[in-house]
Amino acid sequence: MTRKWKRVSAIVAAVGLAVVLVGIAGWQLLLRYFTQQYYRQEYQPIQLTASIIDEFPAEHHLVDVPWIAAAFPTCQSVSLQMIAAQRGIKHSLGHYDFLMGFTYGASELPGAGFTPFGTDPETGMNVAAPYLGLLRHYYVTDDADLYRDALRYFLSQGYPVRVAVDMGTLYGFSEFTAHSEVLVGYNSDGFAYYETVCSAPATCEPGEHEPGQESLFVSDTVLLDAVHAQSKPLKYPWRYALTIFEPGPTATDLAPVWAQNSLALIGGNPYGPKTGADAIDALAEQIEQRGRRFDTTTIETGIEIAAITRPNNAAYLREAFADDEDILQAAALFDQAAAAYRAIQPFVAGGIGNQEEAAQIAINLREAAAAERQAGEIFRERSK
């Protein structure tokens, strides 16, 4: 068992004991405590202080960052791809998805179905950085003025700054959408940024554009509101966060990546929202039980993304591990999962018409879950 699996098992055991000791009434407080502990331990936050920040000019724009944008929601891995490219580190998006585990696995969203992303992007970036020869620094604060100054200071020093934001606040709609942007400049009024996903409501075109392209712009107020609007619902122990990367030692042992991705695919969390194949199986059960009453609009986008990302994962694995029979088998399993998701799409787009359709969707979802769980087991063996 890897160190990460042991740590997760220990946390689960501790939570289970705590529930017995304090009863259900104290569960929310305990959940908040363990959530806060998770953020502090796994995110490795650095507290921003005024001593970190030096003088900076009134305006500065980076001209060495290529604008890379996807057409579908892979904002987290695209952010890292863009930042790495500034330093001459160029790989396919599939490589960043793999290192971060971003498009591997699934997560249950209470009251809204599931999302086909199974790894926390903050921890995913931390795992991925060493394989790119980078060091990740995640700065946090509750001080808005200090945060604004820190953003400008790091940009003035040549760092593209990655910020996690609520896309709804950023673009002025009510729905919360966790998102990732890359800041590439500033003036006295706000910040220039390269959008990572160029689809509505963003006014840009997907693709890779040369460094120095004219960027989008956001005011100080809106950006800080968007950052806080991301932190608040996720119950971060801080209001504002930013991430920068600098050169560091290069790692080669992929065991932590295999462990991360296997955990994302398999799941196994008995407390809180389900993850991995468990989340997909749970969705199948919900649809069987609710039938026509199940609101398919809550999962339509997730199913569409899964049908796109699973073949992309398979293609990457075949290219990167062409001589590895076990990993090629995992690639085939991703293709099987993708076929199951594609079979679901017509039913989801039109709503569930009857119980027979609900049963067929559940069958397809369980096929996808079984394939992803098996791929996760292959990855877990590789992580040992």
> What pLDDT score was predicted for residue 145?
97
Please tell me whether the peptide bond between 201 and the residue prior to it is cis, using omega within 30 degrees of 0.
Answer: yes
Span 274-305, pLDDT tens digits = 899 999 999 999 999 999 999 998 899 899 99
Using an 8 Å Cβ cutoff, are 118 and 104 in contact?
yes
Q: What is the largest distance, in Å, between two alpha-carbon atoms of the chain?
A: 66
Using an 8 Å Cβ cutoff, are 137 and 44 in contact?
no
> What pLDDT score was predicted for residue 14?
34
Tokens of 21: 């000791």
Section 137-147 average pLDDT: 98
From residue 108, how far is each of 11, 34, 173, 282 by CA, in Å? 20, 19, 23, 8
Asked if pLDDT for residue 9 goes beyond 70, the answer is no
Alpha-carbon span 232 to 142, nearest angstrom = 12
Alpha-carbon span 380 to 190, nearest angstrom = 45
Span 221-262, pLDDT tens digits = 999 999 999 999 888 999 999 999 999 999 999 999 999 999
> What pLDDT score was predicted for residue 257?
98
Instruction: Look at 310 and 2; give whichever has higher pLDDT.
Output: 310
Using an 8 Å Cβ cutoff, are 225 and 252 in contact?
no
pLDDT level of residue 30 (50, 70, 90 thresholds)? low
pLDDT level of residue 28 (50, 70, 90 thresholds)? low
- Residue 270 backbone dihedrals phi, psi, to 5 degrees: -80, -10
Alpha-carbon span 369 to 114, nearest angstrom = 12
Asked if pLDDT for residue 13 goes beyond 90, the answer is no
Alpha-carbon span 181 to 163, nearest angstrom = 5
Cα 286 from chain centre: 24
Architecture label for domain 45-89+133-247: Alpha-Beta Complex (3.90)
> What pLDDT score was predicted for residue 20?
35
Alpha-carbon span 92 to 86, nearest angstrom = 14
